[in-house]
Structure 1
């Protein structure tokens, strides 16, 4: 696994092997990650990355958030409640020399609670597939004020996800067994 673009392009991230099924760690492949970022950067909806505050839910290895940093995001908050994931996250943040622009929170992404800081303009969501956790996490994020008005959500799932009130679908693509859905938060 490597960062595929931006200032950290080529940086090798900590290896996970085939993943950790017990911890629900299934990293986004480099190819799918590259496709996601091409969609964000070249899409008709405007590039949300430069200067963005990014929320990476079910962060796992942190590859999505670190890729966003590499491409100009200002800060990334990684949320994962798995011990294995947080160990890999910390290793990858150190490799990227990103300690000063990242936060790692041990928290259940489906029960975020109230956001006490500024909302996030770009949210990555890569939950364990097929368990309905993405819907619950986004409902929690919206209820807690985590997503900025007009903020973009990038959601990876095994199948097209159910609609979430307050978010409008703006694009959807299938890459192998992964469906990537782009959503935009309402304005208030």
Structure 2
């Protein structure tokens, strides 16, 4: 999810009132600032957390099909596209945020599909399977279990799933999922899992320790 926001153009002047900005930190759109309407409870993920996550994911990103399920600012899905993913689906129930996502995708000419829909209801529909899923729901709503259940038919063999939760909460992911890496800040636990069905892909050297971000 996202930090503050301004217009997409890196040459834009001041931000419109009622908006924040989030910055893409790597890839072909590195440094681009995306406009995000202010919303209560829209929780920021720091640049350092995202940099750690995408270092983990680097070999898995080329040509990946990505789902950003509780998209919010959409920065995780758009960052994945910036770094080589083939296509992203962004699901966000807030119509204002969804419209901002459409505008961002259009200005970037990004291969992104935006759905203004409830994430859990959207999962109930038929659709493609994904190689990479970002699961970062509103913390207050406690949606991890339902979202994880709904994801099962939407995962390609060997898919990667990123899960963000409060620092003291470890969502109950399926036992068959392998924890690849995890990190913590004072407020957030972030973890990357690999689902069964494909040969493992190393994304960190074996001697790299688990991440901790202050």
Q: For the superposition of Structure 1 and Structure 2, which TM-score range results when normalised by the shorter chain?
A: 0.7 to 0.9
Q: Which of 95, 112, 126 is the equivalent residue of 1:115? A: 126
Conserved? CA contact 1:13–1:95, under 8 Å: no
Give the Å deviation of 1:28. 2.3
Aligned to 2:162: 154
Alignment gaps of 5+ in structure 1: 42-46
Aligned match of 1:6: 27
For the residues of structure 2 that align with 1:138 and 1:152, how far apart are their CA atoms? 13
> Residue 85 of structure 1 aligns to a residue in which SS?
helix
Structure 1-normalised TM-score?
Answer: 0.84
Measured against aligned partners, the alpha-carbon deviations of 1:142-177 in whole angstroms (never above 9, x if no partner) come to: 1xx211111000111113422222533222111342
> Is 1:38 the counterpart of 2:55 in the alignment?
yes
Aligned pairs, number? 174
CA distance 1:173–1:110, change in 2 (3 Å)? same
User: Does structure 2 conserve the Cα–Cα contact (< 8 Å) formed by 1:66 and 1:96?
Assistant: no
Q: TM-score scaled to structure 2, two decimals?
A: 0.74
Secondary structure in 2 matching 1:13: strand
The alpha-carbon distance between structure 1 residues 132 and 125, as it changes in their structure 2 partners (threshold 3 A), is same
1:163 aligns with 2:184: no
CA contact (8 A) 2:165 2:171 kept: no
Offset at 1:130? 4.5
CA distance in 2, matches of 1:25, 1:85: 10
Larger radius of gyration: 2
CA distance in structure 2 between the aligned counterparts of 1:132 and 1:54, rounded to whole angstroms:
23
Alignment deviations for residues 31-80 of structure 1 (CA, whole Å, 9 cap, x no partner)? 32222112222xxxxx2111100000100111000000000000000011
Gaps of 5+ in 2: 1-21, 199-214
- Find the partner of 2:65 among 42, 53, 56: 53
| Map of 1:187 onto structure 2 | 197
Over aligned residue pairs, what C-alpha RMSD do you find? 1.9
State the SS of the aligned residue for 2:178.
Answer: strand
Report the secondary structure of 1:164's partner residue.
coil
Q: Is the 8 A contact 1:150 1:186 kept in 2?
A: yes
Q: What are the residue-to-residue correspondences of 1:20-169 with 2, within 5 Å?
A: 20-21=39-40, 24-41=41-58, 47-98=59-110, 101-111=111-121, 112-117=123-128, 119-142=129-152, 145-159=153-167, 160-165=169-174, 166-169=176-179
